[in-house]
Structure 1
Amino acid sequence: MNLNSEVLAISTDSILSHKMFIQTSPSANKINYPLLSDRNFEISKKYGVFDENGGYAYRATFVIDTEGAIKSYLVYPDSVGRNIDELLRLLEGLQYNQKTSLGVQSGWKPGDSGIEVGWDHIGKY
Structure 2
Amino acid sequence: METSPSARKINYPLLSDRTQEVSRKYGVLNEKEGFAYRGAFIIDPDGNIQAYLVNPQPVGRNINEILRIIQGLQYNRRTGLGVPANWKPGERGIPVGWNYVGKY
TM-score (norm 1): 0.78
Q: In structure 2, what residue type is equivalent to 1:20?
A: T
TM alignment of 1:8-87, pairs within 5 A: 18-21=1-4, 23=5, 25=6, 28-87=7-66
Query: Sequence identity, in percent?
Result: 59
Q: What RMSD in Å do the two structures reach over aligned CA positions?
A: 1.2
The answer (yes or no) to whether the contact 2:2–2:8 under 8 Å persists in 1 is: no
Question: Which residues of structure 1 form unaligned runs of 5+?
Answer: 1-17
Aligned equivalent of 2:92 = 113
SS in 2 for 1:36: coil
Give the distance between the partners of 1:103 and 1:30, measured in 2 at CA.
36
User: Which structure carries more relative contact order (alpha carbon 8 Å, separation 6+)?
Assistant: 1
TM-score (norm 2): 0.93
Q: Which runs of 4+ in 1 moved over 6 A?
A: none
Question: Which residues of structure 2 form unaligned runs of 5+?
Answer: none
SS in 1 for 2:54: strand
Residue deviations 1:49-90 (CA, integer Å, cap 9, x gap): 111111111110000011111000000112211111111111
- Offset of 1:30 from its aligned partner? 3.7
Give the distance between the partners of 1:119 and 1:30, measured in 2 at CA.
47
